[in-house]
Structure formats: structure tokens, C-alpha cells
Structure 1
């Protein structure tokens, strides 16, 4: 196709018009719109530039399915990004039009992989962005690594991304094209110890970690660190997503008198577990219920009714973060308020995370010097140092190559004050991994 367009672009305007008005079988391969552009310009230089100066960015996230909470706000964030990019992206003295091709994985890892391959092979994206959970990010990253397409991702423990895809401790990174930024086990460890020491407990922690990339990474790396800090980890073993009966796990937690509960479940699984835990009397002895993944978003907590009040969580972004988006210029409060006004729904921490991915991606494209050169973009990602909506992204200071760690801060879901628009308020209770984020409230015991 590129050769045919160049052929028409090299003609005089009269010859181009003849080809377009009297197409041969070969000429029919050129789209009418592009041909008309060549005719209108009468200049092969302008036409060639128009054909090559469009950047295609893939954006893959779970908008529907079991992980839909992670993608719920992406439509709004993408709208802001597209508006910010309406005038194009300036790189090395040239202005490139930017087309963001967003795709919904439907929370299916196989679909995520296929979407990535289609964006790579058919749409020929220049940069891939993937966000939220190993079920989305790992298959997309693998497809990009195999095809030699630069890929940037966020929102999953970096250990599950790095080691979960075959990298080995102490060995060189096997990845040339894929990069990930955000929290890891170290950040969870700091946050949980800081958060759990705010309330007096017996330091017995009942953990419910699933048999998936998140759960296995947390079990292997976080649990031993917590044990070294004096917490007794009571682990009934991995469970499969979709489990409906948690009686055995609940009985163990009750028998061991676990006053702290910690889990990394998908929403349907936690709802089933927590309701059974209430029915069987376990929730009455819980002083701290610390829930990752499901505990991130208001919809999942609100669905629990009174059982959702005082559940502790952790935020990889909060509207209290004191950073602005370099791409759109909006602050955290502006982003959250804008979303609520546009959607009628409560803001979620995913707003800032998805925005930060677009921030970092656009900064890497600008730093590449030539965003149509995939190797240059990959090199720019590996050297990227910038500040996004979530704070600092620095791939030169990571614990391993291809990774930039990020903060996660202690939070809690509390009942909103009378007259509030929403039933729950999401407050910051500690900030060990980023002291620049202001603490808003004191952690309450679950049963207070």
C-alpha cells in the first residue's frame, strides 16, 4: 500500500487526477480519501508526510467482565487525552497526529493476547499501552516482546510482571521491548506494616491469596517479609478463581483468631467470601480487613452494604496526590471532579493510573526523537525519567531492568457524612511510600 501511495504522490497533479478518475486494477488499491488528499495538495512532499506522520498508539484494558472496575473510567481518561492531542504531538521539530486505538479485553487473557496481535499486525501500532492486572498486561506484553513493538504498562505488582514472564533473579533482563511501572511487593510491605501498626492487634494475619499471578507473587514475596516483621501468617493455601464455598478457610481463620485479614481477590470471589465470613462469625473478630484488587473501587465495596464500611485498602493513585498530568495539565482533584460531573459516578483510583500511563507514553514518544522508529521508542522507555499523575517514573533507578517502582498508600473506605452525594468516602490513612501525599484520617478498626 505504501508503494502505491508514493507512486501517486510522485505524479504531477494532472497525472494523479487521471489515475484517480480512471483507476486501473492497481489504482483501485489506493483509498479514495488518501488519493483525494494527494490531488488536493499537488505536492508529493506534503502527501508523503501526511502518510507517515500519524502515530498509532494501542491502549488495552478490561472494560467489561470480572475486572471491569479497572476499566470503568478509561473512556473518560481517553477522551481527555485525545482532546490534549488534537493538535498533534511535537517530536524533534515535527508534529505527528496521534491516533489512540483502545480495546476491551472483556477480562479475558486470551482475548487480550489476540487484541494485541491484531493491533500489532493489522493496525501496525507504534506504541502499545496496557493497563490493569496480570490477566491483561502479561499477555499483551508477551505479544509485544515477540513482535518487537515497544510496550508500556502499569497497575499490577511488578514482580508478577517481571518474574511471572520468565525473568530470573540476578540474571540480565530477557526483555528488550516491554516496560512496566508501579508498585511492587516492597511498596505493599511498607504500606501494610505502616497501616497495621496503627491499630493494636495480635498480629495474626489470615491471608486468602488466589492461584493466579497476583496471588502467587504476593505469597512468595510479601508473606515472608511480613513474617520477619513479627506478623504470623495463617495461609490455608491458594484457591481457584470462582470458588463459591470458603467454609474451610473461614474455620481456620477463626480457630487461629486472625485479627487481620488480607486478600488479593477478584470482586465476585471477595463478595462471596466476606458474606460467608459474616454469616459464620469471623468478621466479628477482625480488626483490620485489608483488601487489594477488589478493595480498590467504590462499586465493589458499596455492593457489600454495611459489610463494606471500614474495609482498608491501598491506593496506587488518590485524588489527594499532589501531581499534575503533563499531557492534559489537570490536577488530581480536577480529574476526580471532572469524572464525577461527567459520569455521575464516584471517582476511582484508576483515573490517575490510566492517565499516568498516557502521560508516560507520550513523554517517551517525545524523548525518542523519532516515534516511528520502534527501537528508538524502546530506548526512550528504558531511559525515561518523568513525573506523571501518580508521581515519579524512573526506569534508570529500578530494582531490575525494565521496571520503575511506584507508590501505594494506605487508605480506608468509611461511611460518608450525612448529605454526601455518595455512600462511601475513600480516605488516606498512611503515606510511607510517598510522604508528599497528605494523610486525611486516622485508621478505624473494622468493627468500630
Structure 2
């Protein structure tokens, strides 16, 4: 028997590949916290006769570390499924290693087109072992278009501050990216040459000049906090300021990097609101609410809640569901099939792999938010448009500069 055994109790192991060192260590906090919170809850949530245990490995914030983490989780821990969250280079490396090793993988916090097409799959050739849930680049474009149209209620020319990495490249993709969805809403995109991360002042000065000369008043991006802070500083020094910046990716996290005038890079920036304490979501595993999870994080860590908390918690919910519904929870192929057939009500919403949009993928609906001065924290993510999220009220109005 390949599964772990404790006395007469049989144990099913869920492996967790999480960044605990290196430059992405802070991005690993939500998954690490959810793992700690779920360890005891999942022990009794497995199929009859089994206990679920969690085993983690540090990805060290690198593709090489990610592959090693998967190897150890499979060989040393006998993981029946591996979970991971975030990291432009790390997440695909975890998924690819699981695909090669023949172990189910579940991940999130990465636009699904980048995950799916970027790793070589298509509608006729899906992955065998790896599954994902997230929003798409087209969903980001629609959410941002909702926000742009609240500035003067019209269509705009939008300046694109895009890097030369995977998200920037796929945002420009003529079929699967951000650009066609934004264009379908009637907005023109001004797209200078992409910059290389980390950005330099010279590279961003070229973007500032292009946007200023074209009289662009809205900018969209997927920049890191550091690069966005530099962009805003260079724009301010050049005497130009857009009326609105929309930015995805790292801007889902609470403010930490300062920009011109000592303000956080996020101050006034509009972004995705994919999970907040106000989202009307409840875990079907243990009844945890979005508000309850955010409060638990703040109480236990003393830090401001994070959007990826909901996605991290949902990873464990889906893993437990797959192990419980699999025909044979000790067989990795059976567990993979169970993930692909899952429709689960989670703290991140209903995740449905039977509905597409392509095999291996379940989608997460988006609302629009803006980082505004808060009451409990200096800046808080305020929901300004409910977007695709049923039952989520707007808590404030969009405030252009």
C-alpha cells in the first residue's frame, strides 16, 4: 500500500509547493496561512477510513526550487495532489513538474490563458494532470473597461504599461489576450515597446513621453509595485499625471512600496477585486465566510488581509473534495479525474471544471476595486463596481485624480 499509514489509519497526503524564501516569500504568506488553518480541519474531511495530512515544501521563489519541491512531495511524501499559488515563473514550473511526474496539480492566481496556452495546451490537447482556477485576461479587460468608462462615461485611448514577460506578452496576444477584449468595448490601446523587468527610469520615461504626447489620461498595466512606483515618480517629475491607473497582478496586495510624495504605489489605483471580506462566499467544507477568513488572518498575523487568501483556502477545499469523491483516493489518476469533474462551492465562489472555458480550467468572477484611504488601514481596497460577482454591493465610487 503506497499511502502513509498511522497505526490502522490510512493517510492521504496533500502536497503544498509554497514560496517561503526568496523574492516571492511574501506572496507565499496567504498559502502558508491557509495551510496552517486547514491542517486540523482537513484531518477529518477525507473519505471514510482515511485522514488527510498536509506536507509543504519551499519553492525558494525559483523554477528550479519549484521542480525540486514537487520531486520531494511526490517521492518523499507520497502526495496524491499538489497545490500551489502565484509566481509568474514558479507556478508554471510546479504545474509542469507535476505533469511530468504524473501527479494531480491544482493552482490559482494566474490568468488562465497564460497558464493554459502559455504552457502549450489547446482545446484539442488539454493537460493530463494539471488543473487551475482563475479569471482570464479578457475578464481583466472587461473589468477595467467598466472602470475606464466611469471616467467621463466615454470610450478612451488607454496607455499600456506592459512588460516583456509572459503576462505582458499574452496581454498583447491578438486572439487570447487583453487587447482584443478591450478593443471590443470600443477603447483604443496605445502600446509602446514593452519594458524589461525590473524597469529602469529610462524605459519608463519613454512610456511617460508616449502617453503624455498622445494626451492619454488612462493607463493600464500589470506592473510590480516597485515598477509602478517608479513609473508614477517619473510621470510626476515630468509634470504629467493620468486621471486613472488600472493595474492587475501585484496590485492585489496591500500597499507596501512608496511612490512620489511618499504615497503607496497603489494609492488611487484601480484593480481587480476577486476576493474581499464583502464577497458573499461561504466554504462548503467548514462554513467559513470571506469576512471570517479575513478577520482570522488579521487577528493571527497582525497584518492587513490579502485577496489571495480566498484562493488559497479554496485550493484546500477542492483538494478535499477531489480526494473524497475520487473512485480510489490512493490512485493519482482517479484523483485527477475527480478534480476535472468537480463543481464545488468554495470561499472563492463556485468553481466548476465541467463548464470550461477550456478543459482543466474553472473561472473566478471579477469585480472592480480601487485603493482608497481607509478606516482600519491607511489604504483599503474599496469595491467600486460589482462586475461579474452576483450579490456583491459597491462600497464606494471610483475617484479619478
Q: Give the TM-score of the pair, scaled to structure 1.
A: 0.82
Equivalent-residue separation in structure 1 for 2:21 and 2:373 (angstroms) = 27
Matches within 5 A, 1:24-423: 47=7, 49-50=8-9, 53-86=10-43, 88-91=44-47, 93-94=48-49, 96-168=50-122, 170-173=123-126, 175-200=127-152, 203-220=156-173, 221-245=177-201, 246-283=204-241, 286-300=242-256, 305-306=262-263, 308-416=266-374, 420-423=375-378
Could you tell me whether the CA contact under 8 Å between 1:191 and 1:410 is conserved in 2? Answer: yes
**Residue 31 of structure 1: aligned partner:** none
Q: Distance in 2 between matches of 1:112 and 1:239?
A: 26
- CA distance change for structure 1 residues 303 and 274 in 2, over 3 Å: closer, same or farther? closer
Taking a change above 3 Å as real, the CA distance of residues 302 and 368 of structure 1, as seen in their structure-2 partners, is: farther
Unaligned runs of 5+ in 1: 7-33, 38-46
What is the TM-score with the length of structure 2 in the denominator?
0.92
CA contact (8 A) 2:91 2:107 kept: yes
Cα deviations by residue, 1:299-355 (Å, 9 ceiling, x for unpaired): 336677435421111122111111112334211111111111111111110111101
Q: Distance in 2 between matches of 1:109 and 1:405?
A: 25
The CA RMSD over aligned residues, in Å, is 2.2
Per mean C-alpha deviation after superposition, the further-off stretch among 399-408 and 101-110 is: 101-110
State the Cα distance separating 1:67 from its structure 2 match: 3.3
Kindly indicate whether the alpha-carbon contact (under 8 Å) linking 2:255 and 2:266 is maintained by their aligned counterparts in 1: no
Q: Partner of 1:12 in structure 2?
A: none
Distance 2:101 2:311 in 1: 26
Residue among 376, 379, 384 paired with 1:429: 384
- SS in structure 1 of the partner of residue 13 of structure 2: strand
SS of 1:427 mapped into structure 2: strand
Shift, 1:58, TM fit: 1.2
- Asked whether the 8 Å contact 1:54–1:97 carries over to 2, the reply is yes
Q: 1:319 to 1:99 in 2, by over 3 A?
A: same
The Cα shift of 1:421 comes to: 3.5
Deviates more, 1:114-123 or 1:243-252: 114-123
Distance 2:328 2:259 in 1: 48
Distance 1:375-1:189 versus aligned 2 partners, 3 A rule = same
The farther-off stretch of 122-131 and 54-63 is: 54-63
